[in-house]
Chain A
């Protein structure tokens, strides 16, 4: 956090102070998400605690991705999508009137399912975000790039080829580059939408280790299809399920330990034990 101040990168209006003890970093309150008339997610109320990893699991089509993409308003890009209920960050309503969606996305970073580096050099990929805030002195930018890549456990592999295209890296490296790019702007929350589904097991392990490092500084939400992954990495797990009307609902949310050992809901038990889904 002191690093962040030295960076002089704090977003206008961003509250980088840690959330008061007990209060979650982010929260959804009776959140329903619609595509046109179709309700994809129904009344989800879920806390996202700071410096913890919250996993969202559930069968395909239950609205996991829709839910996570609504947390930083990426769903706004889908025409016809709208929400009911509330999403708050440090108590501030992200969908409230006058909220700048650009500011929301700067405070809540996102890592996507498929690695999507820009067709630019490795350096420029990481520097893209910081440069959005205006001119950054070269030395400071070098510093940000090095630190972000180090924190994304990629620095040693790329430090001699920062000018090379980010597209030339392997899939796992690309995904770590995308993580470095996301943390270079010092967000407060990192959303990961199935970040390992396009990666091999070795690259997956690397990302998972990285998440453990990152959670010391960030609140992390991860959507995953892989229940072992949820069990391995997360502190809290939310189980989603599709209702008969095809809207996704959150049927259970608790300690990851509890979800995988003593789930309250029969459907969660069936799902995590591999009996369906």
Chain B
């Protein structure tokens, strides 16, 4: 039938059209098949990627929830023979570590970001950029080892050394996100301010930073979320502790360290407490991430 059609038509243009119709039927079937196959594959890959996340959340909640009581949050360490106590000391320790780490890394990160944005092609600007890339890819245990050699070896484990280790992890994140946000501020803002005779520092802090502030805060929250579960850099710096301590020159507890200690404890009570701590850390990280997203979405409006 198709040959008939072809023989009836005369002009090359018509022959071409017929050819197109004939091939397109077969091609379309194949195309649909491939399309469905690829769609299925991408969907499957997404599912596989999501599985561990969902699995982890379900596992942490089901195993952690039973041990998560008010006493667990408000008491400090007790032997398991006395009920095992709580993790108040670790919560306080984590808060102290993160506060000091933020106090060190946020000013450094933000100030360095201003330098990098304003002097992108200087030797120092390029070096800082390259350095932060390397630093943010550095395994956290290496950071811990470095701080250990610098501040701990030959002396004692201290809270401040743990905070320094966390600050080293945070600074590149703060720097990079602040840098990206400052770059988004229109150049005309900076020119308007400088054109009025505002000095560079005044321009940076009264015009550039406020214009970028929501993005910067989002970055800060993500940086805090990133280090709030860090264990490796604290192992041989803050070391962990069973007592409530607020002193900076003594070992200090942290949630992640206590989790690590309890997870490898032969005692079943400790193991379930470890799951409860995991649930708390998960909650903190989730809240910070969701908070960051919330701020970012408000800025978009």
Number of A-B contacts (CB under 8 A): 62
Q: Contact flags (1/0) for B157-177 with A, using CB distance below 8 Å?
A: 000000000000000000000
Decide if B198 is an interface residue (CB 8 Å cutoff).
yes
Docked complex Cα distance between A182 and B194 (Å): 11
Is A35 close to B, CB under 8 A? no
Binds B, one of A91-99, A103-111, A245-253, A260-268: A103-111
Contacts of B83 in A (CB 8 A): none
Asked if A225 is at the interface of the complex by the 8 Å CB criterion, the answer is: no
Shortest B62–chain A CB gap in Å is: 48
A-facing mask of B176-204, CB < 8 A → 1, else 0?
A: 00000000001011111111111100100
Query: Quick check: B197 and A178 within 8 Å, CB to CB?
Result: no
Tell me, rounded to whole Å, the shortest Cβ–Cβ distance linking B290 to chain A.
26
A119 at interface, CB cutoff 8 A: yes
B196: contacting residue among A103, A114, A119, A128, CB under 8 A: A128
**Which residue on A lies nearest to B207, using beta carbons?**
A118
B141 at the binding interface (Cβ < 8 Å): no
Contact indicator B198/A112 (Cβ below 8 Å): no
A105 lies within 8 A of B121 (CB)? no
Q: A74-B191, A128-B206, A178-B192 are in contact. Are A105 and B197 (CB under 8 A)?
A: yes
Distance between Cα atoms of A105 and B196 in the complex (Å): 6
What chain A residues lie within 8 Å of B189 (beta carbons)? 116, 118-119
Binary per-residue interface labels of chain A (154-189) against chain B in the complex, 1 for a CB within 8 Å, 0 otherwise: 000000000000000000000000100110010000
B186 touching A106, Cβ below 8 Å: no
Cross-chain contact A181 with B210 (CB below 8 angstroms): no
Number of B residues with CB within 8 Å of any CB on chain A:
19
Q: Is B211 an interface residue (CB 8 A)?
A: yes
Chain B CB within 8 A of A237 CB:
no
CB under 8 Å from chain B, chain A span 13-64: none
Please report the C-alpha to C-alpha distance between residue A245 and residue B210 in the assembled complex, in whole angstroms.
43
Chain B residue nearest in CB terms to A120: B210
Cβ contact within 8 Å between B192 and A112 = yes
Q: Please name the residue on chain B nearest to A76 by beta carbon.
A: B194
Shortest CB distance B126–A (Å): 13
Query: How distant is the Cα of A119 from the Cα of B189 in the complex, in angstroms?
Result: 9
Assembled-state Cα–Cα distance A120/B121 (Å): 31
Complex CA distance for A117 and B190, rounded to whole angstroms = 11
B240 CB, min distance to chain A CBs, angstroms: 46
Q: Are the C-beta atoms of A185 and B196 separated by less than 8 Å?
A: yes
Residue-wise, chain A 67-83 has the 8 Å CB interface mask toward B (1 for contact) of: 00000101001010000
Task: Judge if A85 is at the interface, Cβ distance under 8 Å.
Answer: no
Docked pose: A178 CA to B194 CA in angstroms: 13
**189-208 of chain A: CB within 8 A of chain B:** none
> Could you tell me if A109 and B188 are in contact, using CB atoms closer than 8 angstroms?
no
A132 within 8 A of B: yes
Q: Of B195, B196, B206, B207, which is in contact with the most chain A CB atoms at under 10 Å from its CB?
A: B195
Q: Are A105 and B206 in contact (CB under 8 A)?
A: no
B90–chain A nearest beta-carbon distance, Å:
42
> B197 contacts A185, CB within 8 Å?
yes
Of chain B, the residue at the smallest CB distance from A79 is B121
Instruction: Report the separation of the CA atoms of residues A128 and B195 in the bound assembly, to the nearest whole angstrom.
Output: 12
- Complex CA–CA separation, A74 to B193 (angstroms): 11
Min C-beta distance of A277 to chain B, whole Å: 26
Q: Does A1 sit within 8 A of B, measured CB to CB?
A: no
CB contact under 8 A between A129 and B207, given known A112-B192, A116-B191, A118-B192? no
Contact A106 B191 (CB under 8 A): no
A103/B192 contact (C-beta < 8 A), A116-B186, A119-B211, A128-B206 known = no
Enumerate chain B interface residues (CB-CB to A < 8 A): 121, 186, 188-199, 202, 206-207, 210-211
* Between-chain CB contacts (< 8 Å), 24 pairs: A74-B191, A74-B195, A105-B196, A109-B195, A110-B191, A110-B195, A112-B192, A112-B195, A114-B188, A116-B186, A116-B188, A116-B191, A116-B192, A118-B192, A118-B207, A128-B193, A128-B196, A128-B198, A128-B206, A132-B197, A132-B198, A132-B202, A181-B192, A182-B195
Q: Could you list 13 further interchain pairs (A-B, Cβ under 8 angstroms) beyond the known A112-B192, A118-B192?
A: A104-B197, A105-B194, A105-B195, A106-B196, A112-B191, A116-B186, A118-B189, A118-B207, A128-B198, A129-B196, A132-B202, A181-B192, A185-B196
